[in-house]
Amino acid sequence: MAGVRAGVRARTAQAGRLVLHRRCVLLRQHLFDGVCFAVLRIFRAAGDVCVLVGAAARRPGASRRCGGSSLVKILVVTNMYLGSNRASPWQGVFVTEQVDALRRSGGCTVDVLVIEGYRGKREYLSSIRQVWKAARAGRYDVVHYHFGLSACSAPLVRLFSKARVVITFHGTDILGPLWMRAVSKSMACFAHACIGVSAEISSRLIRLRRRCVTIPCAVNETVFAGDRDDALMQSAVPIVVFPSSPKRPEKNYPLFSLVLRQLAEQHGIRVQERHLDGLDRGEVRDLLAHAACLLMTSTREGSPQSVKEAMALDLPVVSVDVGNVRQLLDGVSPGMVVFDHDAGRLTNELADVLKAGARSNGREKLAALGCFSADVSAKLKDLYTSLCRPSRFADDIPEVKKNDGGALL
């Protein structure tokens, strides 16, 4: 009896220590967020000073170049771009495709400056002078940053050039480590407009920058098109796709692996496991076209490209509720979004999809959401034009049309 009581006391003490540890972690996070918000208010005030200085520097009645010209000059600054990182050559392919779509759409010229952030954090610091000089020398109408850390030069660009500053936040920069969130939110204070690739990201920015819109990265409707061969659909062993590299902890490969084990043990269904890792666009397209389902188990996402690319090929998706996946898959069948990271529920939903053996209506939903390249490039050009439009001194940041979901119309 004494041993049982001692065991109970030990477990109670352990539970108490765990609760105390969690409370300390939450308190530390709240304190950090409070300090960051105070600092960000200072940065926002500095950004507003930049507005006043920039407006005063312009001649009375002078309009911006793109306000009177049909050609908008854009400089894209990004830390991820196709082929820039030899270790991961396909990193940032969605940024490359966005640039290509803008160039195809006409009415603008787009130059790209790549920050090799994979080499280390010093690359971001060394980019500050490089981007500022490029912005002044190129006489750009818009400097569009991709990823919060890439925008370290935004204060200089805003203060010492006539370019409008746009920053697209992709997820990790706003939802990731505390230091990264602090830097990204600080730079957001100097933007004329911020773009979140999901509503969750935009909601984290709305207090910092009034002009915040939601524009997901697009899917190339030409690459991810075409009907799947019916003969290939009848594969003896169905393919289930993991939408990234298992080495990325935020993608939660252990849960994916557990679901496949339970699928075999509980439902007697054996599958081929394939990963979207190190593949070129054609290989990604072929894999998704021949697969039976994509299973997403991530702990955090923005607006996952892999899910949208699967939808473009009508591949069913089973996913945890992360990023804007619920919005993407609303009304799409077969497929399911599970509220939590419950391996049992994911297993059952995956089994139902595999037993049905049908394609989804994902491409139709994707088109309705305006997630194809032509749609997204049109939204971006509308945003650029609204920013470059001549504005009064007191209202230097122009209004941006929004719908109820915060996305640019």
Per-residue confidence band for 34, with pLDDT thresholds at 50, 70 and 90: low
Structure tokens given for 405:
């979901």
Structure tokens given for 390:
């001549």
Among residues 122, 120, 197, 127, the alpha carbon closest in space to that of 157 is found at 127
Reduce the DSSP state of residue 78 to 3 states and report it.
strand
What DSSP assignment string belongs to 235-256? -SS-EEEESS-TT-GGG-HHHH
Among residues 34, 36, 20, 374, the alpha carbon closest in space to that of 222 is found at 374
Whether the ω angle into residue 334 lies within 30 degrees of 0, i.e. cis, is yes
Class of domain 230-368: alpha beta
- Check residue 48 and give its pLDDT: 58
Per-residue confidence band for 10, with pLDDT thresholds at 50, 70 and 90: low
Biggest CA pair distance of the chain: 89
36-49 pLDDT tens trace: 555 555 655 655 55
Domain residue spans of the chain? 33-218+373-395, 230-368
- Check residue 20 and give its pLDDT: 66
- Check residue 175 and give its pLDDT: 87
What DSSP assignment string belongs to 110-142? EEEEE--GGG-THHHHHHHHHHHHHHHHHT-SE
Mean pLDDT of 234-251: 90
- Check residue 394 and give its pLDDT: 36
Bridge partners of residue 145, in order along the sequence? 77, 167
Radius of gyration, CA atoms only, the chain = 24
Structure tokens given for 374:
């032509």
Per-residue confidence band for 24, with pLDDT thresholds at 50, 70 and 90: low
- Check residue 189 and give its pLDDT: 93
Q: Which helix (H) or strand (E) holds 346?
A: helix 343-356
Mean pLDDT of 214-239: 78
CA distances from 275 to 52, 236, 257, 296 (A): 50, 19, 12, 11
- Check residue 230 and give its pLDDT: 41
> What percent of the chain has pLDDT above 90?
64
**Rounded to whole angstroms, how far apart are CA atoms 264 and 273?**
12
Which residues have a Cβ under 8 Å from the Cβ of 243 and sit 6 or more positions away? 251, 276, 294, 295, 296, 298, 304, 306, 307, 310
Bridge partners of residue 114, in order along the sequence? 78
Reduce the DSSP state of residue 108 to 3 states and report it.
strand
Mean pLDDT of 288-303: 94
What DSSP assignment string belongs to 92-104? THHHHHHHHHHHH
335-371 pLDDT tens trace: 999 988 999 999 999 999 999 999 999 999 999 999 9
Mean pLDDT of 166-186: 93
- Antiparallel, parallel or unpaired: β 212-214 and 193-196: parallel
Q: In the CATH scheme, what architecture does the domain 33-218+373-395 have?
A: 3-Layer(aba) Sandwich (3.40)
- Check residue 291 and give its pLDDT: 95
- DSSP 8-state assignment for residue 79: S
Reduce the DSSP state of residue 11 to 3 states and report it.
helix
Mean pLDDT of 115-142: 93
- Check residue 237 and give its pLDDT: 92
The edge-to-edge listing of strands for the beta sheet with 317-320 is 272-275, 239-242, 293-296, 317-320, 336-338
Domain 33-218+373-395 shares a fold with domain 230-368: yes
Give the residue with greater pLDDT, 223 vs 393.
Answer: 223
Out of 20-34, 49-63, 68-82, 382-396, which region has the weakest mean confidence (pLDDT)? 49-63
Among residues 345, 360, 256, 241, the alpha carbon closest in space to that of 298 is found at 256
60-105 pLDDT tens trace: 444 455 545 578 999 999 999 998 888 888 889 999 999 999 999 9
**Rounded to whole angstroms, how far apart are CA atoms 10 and 301?**
39
Per-residue pLDDT at 151 exceeds 60: yes
Mean pLDDT of 229-258: 85
Q: What is the model's pTM?
A: 0.78
